[in-house]
């Protein structure tokens, strides 16, 4: 009889662990989904004709990038395509929980000559 209770207890414990693990995974996926839904990229043109991007979380401005990150000096984006390309990359990194850092490899992918 004791052996039977040990088996039942083991099954109950294993069941609770599986259910708990499932709840944790579900919570993690919900948090990722909220991040993806919450971020928004907007490109804008300045009065001088240069382009920049802004990233919002909900209605809160989180990033305003008026110059090309990772390039020395204050070189602005020459086109909306440039601003949107780098902005989308930053947005993806934020949605994946990564730091929004642009590397020289990232710049090369979007056709920027890396200058430091």
Q: What is the pLDDT of residue 84?
A: 96
| Averaged pLDDT for residues 86-91 | 95
Given this model, what pLDDT does residue 112 score? Answer: 79
**What backbone phi and psi angles, to 5 degrees, belong to 13?**
-65, -45
Cβ-based burial of 108 (10 A; exposed 0-12, middle 13-18, buried ≥19): exposed
Q: Kindly state the helix (H) or strand (E) to which residue 65 belongs, with its residue range.
A: strand 60-65
Average pLDDT over residues 97-112: 88
pTM: 0.64
Residue 72 confidence (pLDDT) above 50: yes
Q: Judge whether residue 62 has pLDDT over 70.
A: yes
């Amino acid at each position: 009889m004791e052996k039977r209770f040990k088996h039942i207890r083991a099954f109950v414990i294993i069941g609770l662990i599986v259910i708990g693990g499932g709840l944790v995974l579900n919570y993690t996926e919900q948090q990722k989904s909220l991040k993806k839904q919450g971020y928004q990229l907007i490109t804008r043109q300045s009065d001088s004709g240069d382009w920049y991007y802004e990233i919002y979380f909900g209605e809160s401005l989180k990033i305003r990038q008026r110059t090309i990150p990772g390039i020395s000096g204050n070189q602005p984006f020459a086109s909306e395509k440039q601003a949107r390309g780098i902005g989308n990359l930053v947005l993806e990194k934020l949605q994946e929980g990564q730091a929004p850092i642009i590397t020289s490899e990232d710049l090369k992918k979007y056709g920027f000559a890396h200058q430091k």
